[in-house]
C-alpha cells in the first residue's frame, strides 16, 4: 500500500531526531559534570580583555593534599604568590574561601553569585606522597594546576600547571620537613602565577595604532 512508505519515512525521521536529542542530552550532562581543571581546555571565542580587571583567588581542595594540608594552611603562601598577580594593571587581588569538590560549569556559575570580580583564579595542589612524616630517600612531587574564569564572558582559560620535586632523606626533623615543603609549595605557586600572567597577557586588548 502506498501509505506505508510515507509512514516509514516519518518513523525514520522521528527515530533519528530522538537519537540526536538523546545524544545531546547525554553529552550536555557529561560536560556539565566534567572537572574543568582536569580537562585542561581553554574555551573558544574568548574576547580580548580590557584592563584593569579585578581578580579573586580561590583554592579548590582535593584529597591529594592529605596530611600536608596542615603545612599549607598559612595564608602567606597565597599572599606572596598568586595575590601578587598583576598581568596588566589588575586591581589588587583578594582571596576567596577554599572549597572541595569538582569544578564544573555549574560550580563556576555559583561562584559568580558569591564573588563580583572580573576574573576568578581557581587553583589546586596535590602531593605524592601526601603523608607525614616523610620516609627515607623519598621524592615528593608537588603538582599545582588551575584555571582562570572570565565571569562576564563565562569562559575558561586553562593553565598548563606546574610539577616541582624535592628529595627528602627522612632524617630531617618535622620542622625542617615542614619548611622545605612550604618552599616547594611556594615555588609551585609562583610558577602557576607566572603562567596565569602570561595567559591573561595573551588575551589583552591592544589598541592598533594608525600608520598615518
Strands 155-158 and 162-168: unpaired
**Positions of E strands within 104-171:** 119-128, 138-150, 155-158, 162-168
Percent share of the chain, pLDDT over 90: 52
Report whether 152 contacts 118 (CB < 8 A). Answer: yes
Per-residue pLDDT at 28 exceeds 60:
no
Strands 155-158 and 138-150: antiparallel
Per-residue pLDDT at 132 exceeds 90:
no
Grid cell listed for 4: 506505508
Largest CA-CA distance found in the chain, in angstroms, rounded: 90
pTM comes to 0.80
Burial of 51 by CB count in 10 Å (0-12 exposed, 13-18 middle, 19+ buried)? Answer: middle
How confident is the model at residue 46, as a pLDDT?
Answer: 96
pLDDT bin (cut points 50, 70, 90) of residue 5 is low
Cα 202–chain centre separation:
17
* φ, ψ at 7 (rounded to 5°): -65, -40
Instruction: Return the sign of the alpha-carbon dihedral for residues 73, 77, 79, 84.
Output: negative
* φ, ψ at 152 (rounded to 5°): -70, -35
CATH class, domain 36-202, is alpha beta
Q: Tell me the three state secondary structure of residue 175.
A: helix
Report whether 189 contacts 72 (CB < 8 A). Answer: no
Q: Which helix (H) or strand (E) holds 94?
A: strand 94-95
CA-closest candidate to residue 103, choices 53, 164, 58: 58
pLDDT tens figures, 86-131: 655 556 688 999 999 999 999 999 999 999 999 999 999 998 888 8
Q: Which residue's C-alpha cell is 595604532? A: 209
Report whether 31 contacts 90 (CB < 8 A). Answer: no
Enumerate the domain spans of the chain: 36-202
Amino acid at each position: 500500500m502506498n501509505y506505508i512508505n510515507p509512514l516509514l519515512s516519518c518513523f525514520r525521521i522521528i527515530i533519528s531526531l530522538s537519537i540526536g536529542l538523546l545524544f545531546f542530552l547525554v553529552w550536555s550532562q557529561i560536560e556539565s559534570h566534567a572537572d574543568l581543571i582536569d580537562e585542561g581546555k581553554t574555551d573558544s571565542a574568548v574576547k580580548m580583555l580590557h584592563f584593569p580587571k579585578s581578580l579573586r583567588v580561590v583554592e579548590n581542595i582535593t584529597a591529594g593534599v592529605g596530611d600536608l594540608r596542615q603545612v599549607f594552611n598559612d595564608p602567606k603562601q597565597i599572599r606572596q604568590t598568586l595575590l601578587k598577580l598583576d598581568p596588566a594593571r589588575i586591581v589588587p587581588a583578594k582571596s576567596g574561601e577554599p572549597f572541595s569538590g569538582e569544578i564544573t560549569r555549574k560550580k563556576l556559575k555559583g561562584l559568580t553569585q558569591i564573588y563580583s570580580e572580573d576574573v576568578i583564579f581557581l587553583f589546586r595542589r596535590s602531593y605524592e606522597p601526601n603523608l607525614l612524616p616523610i620516609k627515607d630517600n623519598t621524592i615528593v612531587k608537588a603538582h599545582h594546576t588551575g584555571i582562570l574564569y572570565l565571569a562576564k564572558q563565562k569562559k575558561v582559560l586553562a593553565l598548563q600547571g606546574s610539577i616541582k620535586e624535592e628529595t627528602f632523606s627522612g632524617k630531617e626533623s618535622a620542622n625542617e620537613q615542614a619548611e622545605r615543603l612550604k618552599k616547594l609549595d611556594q615555588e609551585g605557586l609562583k610558577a602557576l602565577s607566572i603562567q596565569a600572567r602570561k595567559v591573561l597577557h595573551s588575551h589583552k586588548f591592544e589598541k592598533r595604532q594608525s600608520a598615518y
